[in-house]
Amino acid sequence: MDIKKLQTLVVDALEDVKGQEIMLFDTTGLTSLFDRIAVVSGTSNRQTKALAASVRDKVKAAGGDVIGMEGEDTGEWVLVDLGDMIVHIMQPAIRQYYRLEEIWGEKPVKLGAAKRKSTPEAAEADAPKVKSKHLAANQAQPEVKPVRERKAAATKTAPVKAPAKKPAAKPASKAIGKTVKVAPTKTEVAAVKALKALPPKRTVKAAVTADGEPVKKVIKRVVKKAAE
C-alpha cells in the first residue's frame, strides 16, 4: 500500500475514536525499518485499546497488512506494526516519560496533508476555489503595453528680457529733513515784554587813585560826650 494512503487511513482511524495530540513523523532518513511513525494519546486503557482496534480494522478493510500488535493486556502503551508505519498509542504519563517525539521527530508531517483525503469533504476542500468576479482584484486585468513617448520638436522661443534694475535708494545720511517753526505761547511773549520794561541796573564805580588802585575809605567814629 502507498505510504501516503496508509498514513491517511491511520489518521482517520485515530480521529474516529477521539485520539488526542496526534503527531506524525517522517523517518526515512533515520532508519530503514519503517517510513512513518505516529504517536497518539488515550485517556484510559479502554480508549487506547479502542484506538488500536480502529487502526487495525480500517487498514485491513482497505487491503493493508497488519504485522502485529503489542501491549493490549495493560493498555498503557499499545503498538501497532503496519510494516512501513508504526503506531504508538500511549497514555499521557507514559508518553511524557518516554518522549518519542524527541527521538523520531526530526521531520514532522503536517496532518493537513494526511488527514481524510478520501472523504468527499476533503475532495471539496482540495478543489480549486471559485473566485468572485465582483471583486476588482479577481477581475482579469487588461494587458498593459509600453507607451513610447515622442520628443517634442525644438521650437524657437523669444529671448527673455531681464527686468529693469530699480535705482538704488539714497542713504539716509544725505536725506534733508524739513524744519518746522513753532510760534511762542502767550505766556512766553508776556514774560519777554516784562523783562524789557524793567529799568536798567545802576553800576557804582569805585574811586580809583592815580596809580589805579582803589581809594580806601576811612570811617571815623564820632564819640559823643556824655552830658555833664
DSSP 18-76: T-EEEEEEE-TTT-SS-SEEEEEE-SSHHHHHHHHHHHHHHHHHTT----EEE-TTT-S
pTM above the 0.75 mark? Answer: no
Question: What is the dihedral sign for C-alpha 81, 82, 84, 88?
Answer: negative
Label residue 35 by pLDDT band (50, 70, 90): very high
Label residue 39 exposed, middle or buried (CB < 10 Å: 0-12, 13-18, 19+).
buried
Confidence category of residue 118, pLDDT binned at 50, 70, 90: very low
Taking the C-alpha atoms of residue 196 and residue 198, their distance in angstroms, rounded to an integer, is 6
Residue type at 13 in one-letter notation? A
By mean pLDDT, which of 82-96, 104-118, 122-136 is the weakest? 122-136
| Cα(7)–Cα(17) distance, integer angstroms | 16
Multiple choice CATH, 3-110, 3.50.50.60, 3.30.460.10, 3.40.47.10, 3.40.50.300 = 3.30.460.10
Of 27-36, 119-128, 141-150, minimum mean pLDDT range = 119-128
